[in-house]
Amino acid sequence: MATRLQELYKTRIRPELKAELHLDNVFAVPRIEKVIVNAGIGRVLQQNPKSLDEITLAMARITGQKPLLTRARKAISAFKIREGQIVGLRVTLRGRRMYEFLDKFINAALPRTRDFRGLSKTALDGKGNYSCGVSEHFVFPEMAQEEVGLTFGLEITIVTTAKNNEQAYLLLKKLGMPFSA
């Protein structure tokens, strides 16, 4: 069973993109490959080392998948980081969970973001990938503001099969990403 956004892509967006980009093959049409959600939690853990379970549970509720702990590869004394210390959480979403997360992110979380005026077009990396950040994780509908003890930000990277920024921008715009004018 496909999600709402996945059905929209297959039935309406893919044929439109094929016509607009003058592509002959359906498989040449840009699509979303994966979504990577990353949370840097080094500072939060320095202040409260017992909060790792709470942050892991919150990120699992947001993404629908248990996050992977990322550790520091080398020590950096200026940031008080030791080698092997937990500095973040990462989730890579594909398939159904990816489309569910994107739908929730575009239609529920972004409108709830404080002082939101649209996403920047300049966050495209030249290879068709888009990265943006959310400064507070409780903008997602799974997180009730009353039960939030700690706040942490999320970095979201949308990896597409687009060849350039223009194709990626067209794809994301048709999926409903609210870009600023």
Binned at pLDDT 50, 70 and 90, residue 69 comes out as: confident
Query: In the chain, how many H helices and how many E strands?
Result: 7, 5
Beta bridge pairs of residue 156: 37, 132
> What pTM value is reported for the model?
0.85
Which tens digits make up the pLDDT trace of 34-64?
999 998 886 776 677 777 788 888 888 888 8
Among the listed residues 143, 137, 146, 142, the one whose alpha carbon sits nearest the alpha carbon of residue 113: 137
The Cα 114–Cα 141 span in angstroms is 14
Return the domain boundaries, the chain.
31-175
For the CA atoms of 136, 140, 143, 149, the dihedral, rounded to the nearest 10 degrees, stands at: 0
Domain 31-175 fold: 50s Ribosomal Protein L5; Chain: A, (3.30.1440)
